[in-house]
Amino acid sequence: MGDEHPNARAYRATADAFRTGDLTVVASLISEHVVWHVPGCHSMAGEIRGRDQLLRWLGQLGARGFWLEELDVFGNDRHVCAISVMGARRDGVDVSTRVVSLFGYEAGQQTERWLYPDDLEVWDRVFDD
């Protein structure tokens, strides 16, 4: 990780802060005008616009038993790609799927995210029973 691009390190710091519940650090690493494109037919799917809306969205994931683990992260001056496993563990649900995420970065802050899960049916169960 020592020779990773700074944007890849910024993504890892964001994911680590999310895992520990430190949304203040998450907020410092994403643009005020961030846009996330969340696929699926679940109740949390759609386009999330702006840091405040994203932080509220992220705040809902803990109650759903959401977790993520990075398999690989790489980036350049404009983009980061993270290959992860994401899932949920809660009563009656224990599912996971690989997800490729592509991020836009400007000035060291995340500006956009597109998520591409391998299995959309499992992806929907991550968010809804």
Q: Which sequence spans correspond to the domains of the chain?
A: 6-127
- When the candidates are 3.40.50.1820, 3.10.450.50, 3.30.1330.30, 3.30.200.20, the CATH number that belongs to 6-127 is 3.10.450.50
pTM: 0.94
Burial class (CB in 10 A: 0-12, 13-18, 19+), 54: buried
- Cα angle: 81, vertex 105, 85; to 5 degrees: 30
Phi, psi for 118 (deg, rounded to 5): -65, -40
pLDDT over 80 at 54, yes or no: yes
User: What is the rounded distance in angstroms from the CA atom of residue 129 to the CA atom of residue 89?
Assistant: 11
For residue 129, name the pLDDT band (cuts at 50, 70, 90).
confident
